[in-house]
Structure 1
Amino acid sequence: MDIGAFLLDTVPFARLLGISFDSVGGGAAVARLPDRDDLHNHVGGPHAGALFSLAESASGAAMLSAFGDQLSRAVPLATDARIRYRKLAKGEVTASATLVADPAAVVAELDAGRRPEFEVEVGIRDARDVTVCEMTVSWTLRPNR
C-alpha cells in the first residue's frame, strides 16, 4: 500500500494544504509543506495550524507504516498531541516522524484484547535546516467491536 497516497485520500485537509510525502516505511515518515503565501501567518512564516497539520500527518503516516496491517481489526486514533514552536520557519518545511514504541509490543497488546497506546515523535525543519517545531503525538489502536 502507498501509505502517503492513502493518507492524502482519506484526509483531504492534508491534500488541501499541499502536504506531500518523501518517504514512509518502517515506523517513520518524512512529509513536506510547501512555502505558499496562503499558508503564512502574520509574520511571514507557515501558520501554526499548518505546522501542526504537517506534523500530525507525518505522525499518522509513520504510525500506518508500522500498523497498517492491523486496520482490519482496529481503528487508529490520535489521542493527544503536544507541540513546541521553537523558531519562525522560513520557506518549505519538512517533518520527520518516528514511532517511539516497539511495534511487536503494541500488536501483542492488541492481540491480548487491550487498546494499546504509543507515541510518535516529530521534528520540523525549515529550508535553512533549522529545527522550528517539535511535536509528540499519542496514538491508540481501538479494537473493532
Structure 2
Amino acid sequence: MNITDLPFNKLIDIKVSTDPDYLLILDDKKDYTNHLDTVHASALFSLAEATSGHFLMINFPEFDSGLIPVVRQVEVKYKKPANGQVNSTAMLIDNTIDEIKEQLTTRKRVSLKLKIELYDINKINVMSGNFEWFVTILNTST
C-alpha cells in the first residue's frame, strides 16, 4: 500500500517527495493556511503522521499487507511558522530496523518510536514530533 492512497491523505494531497532528502511533501496551497497566512497546525500534523506511516511501509516491505501499525502516542512541538511547501523526514528512536524486524518475526509485535521533522520551503525546521507506534503482523498461518 502507498500511504498517499489513504483517503484522508488523498483529500489533502500529500505526495511522495522526489527530493531524496525528504519522504513526503505538502504542496503550497492556500487551502492549508490559517488566520496568520501560514500553514495550519493540523495540516502539519497530518503530514507528520503520514510520514511516520510511510516510513514503516518503506522499511518493512517483507511484511506486505500483513503489517498492522497503530499510533499510540504523539508528542509534537511546533517550532516556527511554516510557509509554502512543507517537506518531511523520519528516523527511528532507540531501535534499528533490524531489531524491529527480528521482534516482528519472533514476537509478531513491537512498539517503536519515530522522530519526524518538518521543513518549510526555506529549509526551516517548523515542527518536530515523536510518534510511538504499536505494530503487529497478522497470523498468516492456517
- TM-score normalised to structure 2 length: 0.85
In the TM superposition, residue 47 of structure 1 has moved relative to its aligned partner by 0.9
Q: What does the per-residue CA deviation read over 1:12-67, in whole Å, with 9 as the maximum and x for residues that have no partner?
A: 11111121111599xx9511111211111111111111100101111111111111
Are 1:125 and 2:119 matched, yes or no?
Answer: yes
Corresponding residue of 2:134 = 140
- TM-score normalised to structure 1 length: 0.84
Are 1:111 and 2:89 matched, yes or no?
Answer: no
SS in 2 for 1:90: coil
Separation in 2, partners of 1:67, 1:24: 21
Which ranges in structure 1 are unaligned for 5 or more consecutive residues? none
> Retained in 2: the 8 A contact 1:24–1:61?
no
In structure 2, give the amino acid aligned to 1:92: Q
Separation in 1, partners of 2:84, 2:18: 20
In the TM superposition, residue 73 of structure 1 has moved relative to its aligned partner by 3.9
What RMSD, in angstroms, separates the aligned Cα atoms of the two structures? 2.2
Which ranges in structure 2 are unaligned for 5 or more consecutive residues? none
Separation in 2, partners of 1:134, 1:15: 23
Corresponding residue of 2:17 = 22
> Retained in 2: the 8 A contact 1:117–1:140?
yes
In the TM superposition, residue 68 of structure 1 has moved relative to its aligned partner by 2.6
> Retained in 1: the 8 A contact 2:63–2:137?
no
Change (3 A) 1:67 1:29: farther
Separation in 1, partners of 2:79, 2:53: 22
Are 1:61 and 2:54 matched, yes or no?
Answer: yes
Separation in 1, partners of 2:116, 2:17: 15
Runs of 4+ in 1 over 6 A off after TM superposition: none
